[in-house]
Amino acid sequence: MERDRALDSEVALHDELTRLGQKHEGGDLGLVLMNYDPVNHDDQRLSHVMNPISPDTNFDTIRLYASSALGNRYPDRFERMVEVFEARTDLLNNIRTDLVEGKNIALITNHGKLEDIPIVQAALVCALGDEKYIKRNAIVVSKILTRLEAFGLPASSVLSYLGHTFFSIPRSKSIFRSGIDNDIAQEENAIMLNALQQYIEEGGKMVAIAPSGSTDERNYKFDDLTGLTLQRMSSGTANLLLLFDRILPVSVWLEAPKGHKFLTIGELLSVRAKTETSIHECMEWIAGETAGLARVTTVYESDRLTGIARAKKIGKLISERANKALH
């Protein structure tokens, strides 16, 4: 009976992932929706929570996929992103030292597009300048990546060149309207988080996470983007981040026009003596920086700010940052 319930939830999840995947088809990545075929693609199983890093990974492969992911519109944007990281020499030196000393670093970002998290992480690891750091990498992504094909390969296989890949069930409202059993979804995410916790207990790991758990919500007036909402992270995610030694917050807007700033790198923060509230404050900082990059009102769904306070804070950030020069 329990197995039937899990299978029903797996089918319900993939029915919804089919619908969501259709929205992501095409684009710069040329994404193609894959069939639900867990016999040949084991990572589509609800119970499959991690793919290991590819043994054939190297900087050339990472650079190729990351640059290709940005398409013809921004052919040099990935290398520009690497340069922005390389300019932060003190930051890179601190990251190298922390990793060698066995400290764990969480790279956290907003999540405007499916590809922004791996591209930011790829830029950071390339900027570190030594391929040994690739093997310290991991990334947490949505289960939807097991249903999409990029560059003629399953997207989950492409991600394996960047590091270990952990799969979560997205927390979007549509997912839980789809018929998936909420208890099973929570159980599977808990299993994934436990596997990730065991991974970082080895020490010296760098894990990329979009704490909101799903792509940022967009508001439009006609065809014009007017606002972004970063969904509030769960307590489970906040508590997971508290297990890291350091957090590096980054704001990215891959859709910024040429010549405009598209990346803001924060400071490497110690998690020691931090609380869940301080983790939410990191997300508020990311939302504020994203407002300047995207040039639209950007809100993080936090209970700590009222709607009026949010509007004032974000409005001020837009005016201060919208005209900053490209790094």
**What CATH number is given to the structural domain containing 310?**
3.40.1130
Over range 299-313, report the average pLDDT: 54
- The predicted pLDDT at position 174 comes to 61
273: pLDDT confidence band, cut at 50, 70 and 90? low
- The predicted pLDDT at position 198 comes to 94
With a cut of 60, say whether residue 183 has pLDDT above it: yes
- The predicted pLDDT at position 311 comes to 42
Flag whether 307 is in a domain.
yes
- The predicted pLDDT at position 317 comes to 44
Question: Which range marks the domain in which residue 202 is found?
Answer: 2-321
- The predicted pLDDT at position 215 comes to 82
Contact yes or no for 105/205 (Cβ under 8 A): yes
**Maximum distance among all Cα pairs of the chain, rounded to whole angstroms:** 60
Over range 257-269, report the average pLDDT: 93
Over range 89-102, report the average pLDDT: 98
In the chain, the amino acid numbered 311 is A
Flag whether 173 is in a domain.
yes
Task: Domain count for the chain, please give it.
Answer: 1
Flag whether 61 is in a domain.
yes
Tell me the percentage of the chain whose pLDDT exceeds 90. 57
Flag whether 327 is in a domain.
no
Flag whether 10 is in a domain.
yes
- The predicted pLDDT at position 2 comes to 57
| Stronger pLDDT, 225 or 3, i.e. the higher one | 225
For residues 118 and 116, what is the distance between their CA atoms, to the nearest angstrom? 6
Flag whether 326 is in a domain.
no
- The predicted pLDDT at position 269 comes to 93
Flag whether 244 is in a domain.
yes
Flag whether 290 is in a domain.
yes
Q: What angle do CA 85, 91, 95 make, to 5 degrees?
A: 105
For residues 118 and 141, what is the distance between their CA atoms, to the nearest angstrom? 9
